[in-house]
């Protein structure tokens, strides 16, 4: 396993894989640590979780530079990601005890209540695009709930994976409560089959989610899946176009467009399409492509060469099918995994950029002629993760938000994750929820206790 800098192609470091024997021993060690941790009072869990937040903030630049070096994220975005991880640690340290306190229910018993008890060792299979955040948004609630965890991270961010393990140790968690497994994807099934693994959470592709869910199902183990998205960004005829365009650029270009909740399908009413297209073109052509470590860079590399190949294939196939290229559309001349910020207009059903998830800096403009058509196009997707609507009429926006089939809809704002709000999707975007009280309760035994 190796980490490769996507902006230069240089090998950062090579990591020896854990053998299957080593993996089994790690899982035994984690399970042993869990048997003590599950009975640890919330007060102590909160102290060390707060310390994890402190470690993240104290060494923020170090961790941020590691992310940028391994997967190409702009350094300023990496810094923000570390800070967000500290936030989620603080959030659950402060709120987990209240979220998981016994819930008293009046019945025919002298006393009856619901207890929320930890499940055990949770396997987390995580992606490379937000190498710290994806892990912490699972780990903070899971550990505060009294669980333990093993992490199978993406193979191109091994440095981040090991650093996260070290953060929890430095914060004062038991040494084996959270461990990283350096294994290839084909070894995940054997981990799921291990009887000491209680449940699995995965963030990743449809194919990965299907494989993990299948293996977990055969072993009767719960899963939470956060998969792909083709999020709609709906612009109605009464939208504040200046605000919509400004947000649209960020919503599409954050992390070079490599985000499951990035805006991907821009569903725009016909009366405002010309203005939206013109302003997006102006904004995209002004973006500066460069070294992700430089402060004035606005577009960095994609994380791997194969991702450039895939986004190029989707763009070219869509143009061949009739989409109109507004700007971009090519690999950058720079060394590394760069692709130009691209806008395609006159996108219609049947084109890859209409129906597939585009994991890169590509805007697809779909023209609609009515509010009803906008809703129909938004729902014409196998995915259902997030989306947003732009209108000056907030009641109109809320009514449409209720009709779009996704796990989240934002009115006059960019779709984003927030520890205070549940996060997850429907359809092929997965199932289950992360964050908020709903996320921490995914991996607990919701146990009825009835006392006669």
Mean pLDDT of the chain: 97
pTM of the model: 0.97
pLDDT, one tens digit per residue, over 421-432 is 999 999 999 999
Are residues 46 and 144 in contact, defined by beta-carbon separation less than 8 angstroms?
yes
Q: What are phi and psi of 142, to 5 degrees?
A: -65, -45
What pLDDT, in 10s, does the model give residues 101-114?
Answer: 999 999 999 999 99
What are 130-158's pLDDT values in tens digits? 999 999 999 999 999 999 999 999 999 99
Return the pLDDT at 204: 96
At residue 173, the pLDDT reads: 98
User: At 391, is the pLDDT very low, low, confident or very high (cuts 50, 70, 90)?
Assistant: very high
Catalytic one of 70, 81, 165, 226 = 226
Helix, strand, or coil here: 415?
Answer: coil
Query: What DSSP letter does each residue of 303-333 carry, written as one string?
Result: SSHHHHHHHHHHHHHHHHTTPEEEE--SB-S
Known active-site residue 260: yes
Domains annotated on the chain, with CATH:
2-227+429-451 (3.40.605.10), 231-418 (3.40.309.10)
Helix and strand numbers (H, E) in the chain are 15, 20
CA 226 vs CA 92, 124, 213: distances in Å: 20, 11, 12
**CA-wise closest residue to 266 among 350, 341, 367:** 367
Q: Which of 85, 158, 160, 260 is catalytic?
A: 260
Q: How far apart are CA 396 and CA 82, in angstroms?
A: 36
Task: Tell me how many degrees the CA angle 158-199-17 measures, rounded to the nearest 5.
Answer: 25
> What are the CA-CA distances from residue 402 to residues 226, 349, 389, 407, 440 (Å)?
21, 23, 11, 10, 25
């Amino acid at each position: 396993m190796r980490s490769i800098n996507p902006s230069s192609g240089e090998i950062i470091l090579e990591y020896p894989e854990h053998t299957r024997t080593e993996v089994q021993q790690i899982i035994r060690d984690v399970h042993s640590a869990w048997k003590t941790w599950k009975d640890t009072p919330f007060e102590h869990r909160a102290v060390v979780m707060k310390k994890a937040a402190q470690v993240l903030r104290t060494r923020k630049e170090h961790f941020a530079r590691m992310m940028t070096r391994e997967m190409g994220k702009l350094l300023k975005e990496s810094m923000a990601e570390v800070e967000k991880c500290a936030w989620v640690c603080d959030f659950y340290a402060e709120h987990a005890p209240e979220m998981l306190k016994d819930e008293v229910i009046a019945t025919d018993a002298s006393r009856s209540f619901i207890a929320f008890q930890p499940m055990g060792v949770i396997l987390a299979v995580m992606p490379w695009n937000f190498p710290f955040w994806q892990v912490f948004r699972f780990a903070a609630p899971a550990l505060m709930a009294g669980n333990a965890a093993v992490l199978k991270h993406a193979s191109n961010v091994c440095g981040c994976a090991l650093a996260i393990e070290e953060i929890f140790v430095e914060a004062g968690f038991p040494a084996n409560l959270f461990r990283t497994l350096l294994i290839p994807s084909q070894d995940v099934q054997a981990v799921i089959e291990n009887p000491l693994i209680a449940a699995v959470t995965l963030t990743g592709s449809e194919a990965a989610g299907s494989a993990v869910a299948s293996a977990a199902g055969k072993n009767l183990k719960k899963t939470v899946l956060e998969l792909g998205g083709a999020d709609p960004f709906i612009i109605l005829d009464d939208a504040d176009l200046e605000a919509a365009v400004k947000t649209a650029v960020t919503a599409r270009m954050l992390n070079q467009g490599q985000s499951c909740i990035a805006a991907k399908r821009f569903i725009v009413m016909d009366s405002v399409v010309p203005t939206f297209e013109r302003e997006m073109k102006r904004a995209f052509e002004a973006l500066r492509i460069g070294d992700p470590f430089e402060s004035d860079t606005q577009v960095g590399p994609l994380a791997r060469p194969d991702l450039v190949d895939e986004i190029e294939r989707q763009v070219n196939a869509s143009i061949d099918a009739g989409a109109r290229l507004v700007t971009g559309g090519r690999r950058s001349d720079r060394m590394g995994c760069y692709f130009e910020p691209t806008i395609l207009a006159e996108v219609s059903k049947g084109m890859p950029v209409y129906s597939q998830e585009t994991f890169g800096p590509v805007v697809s403009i779909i023209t609609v002629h009515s509010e009803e058509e906008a809703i129909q196009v938004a729902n014409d997707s196998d995915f259902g993760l997030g989306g947003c609507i732009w209108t000056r009429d907030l009641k109109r926006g809320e009514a449409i938000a209720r009709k779009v089939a996704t796990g989240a809809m934002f009115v006059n704002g960019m779709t984003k994750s927030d520890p205070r709000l549940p996060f997850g999707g429907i359809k092929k975007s997965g199932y289950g929820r992360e964050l908020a009280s709903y996320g921490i309760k995914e991996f607990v035994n919701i146990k009825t206790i009835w006392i006669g």
